[in-house]
């Protein structure tokens, strides 16, 4: 269970590394109840809230939706995409603060709205319907940079 934005927990060993303690010390803290929110899963693994590693996760979300042409936008494909992402965010208790729409192919790099979104320091989390909408071949690079 590796930490990423969509998971709420991380491994106890990750907690131990972050705080420079041994796994046994982290385990003792768990048993003593000093890790509020930590739970043991069905397989017996101790899961610690991810906030211990990264601090509290902001629940303010920006949605980025794309369409290949105006025809897609007119046929409500983009609106359906946005509604699906809003439901996804609402199910997790996240608040959508901004919706960015752009008409562009996932192959082209000419996307001024996406570049503006990535440069915006107030935007902490971006939700997309499919990682290929960000960039068919560049998603791993963007993910690594962020």
- Considering the domain architecture, whether residues 49 and 64 belong to the same structural domain is answered as no
Do 94 and 72 fall within a single domain?
Answer: yes
Q: Starting at the edge strand that comes first in sequence, how are the strands of the sheet with 95-103 ordered? A: 95-103, 60-67, 126-128
Mean pLDDT by runs of 10 across the 146 residues of the chain is 53 87 92 88 86 66 82 71 88 84 72 82 82 66 63
pLDDT of residue 99: 92
**Residue keyed to tokens 């440069």:** 119
The predicted pLDDT at position 52 comes to: 73
User: Could you give the number of structural domains in the chain?
Assistant: 2
| CA 92/CA 130 separation, integer angstroms | 18
Residues 43 and 86 in one domain: no
Q: How far is CA 52 from CA 9, 63, 80, in A?
A: 9, 26, 36
- Give the domain extent around 117: 60-145
């Amino acid at each position: 269970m590796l930490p990423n934005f969509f998971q709420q927990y991380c491994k106890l060993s990750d907690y131990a590394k972050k705080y420079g303690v041994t796994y046994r010390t982290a385990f003792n803290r768990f048993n003593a109840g000093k890790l509020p929110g930590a739970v043991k899963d069905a397989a017996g693994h101790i899961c610690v809230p991810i906030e211990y590693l990264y601090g509290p996760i902001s629940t303010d979300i920006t949605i980025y939706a794309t369409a290949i042409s105006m025809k897609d936008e007119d046929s409500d494909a983009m609106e359906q995409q946005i509604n699906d992402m809003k439901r996804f965010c609402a199910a997790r208790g996240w608040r959508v603060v901004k919706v960015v729409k752009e008409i562009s192919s996932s192959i082209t790099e000419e996307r001024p709205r996406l570049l503006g979104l990535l440069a915006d320091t107030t935007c902490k989390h971006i939700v997309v319907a499919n990682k290929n909408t960000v960039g068919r071949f560049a998603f791993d690079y963007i993910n690594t940079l962020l």
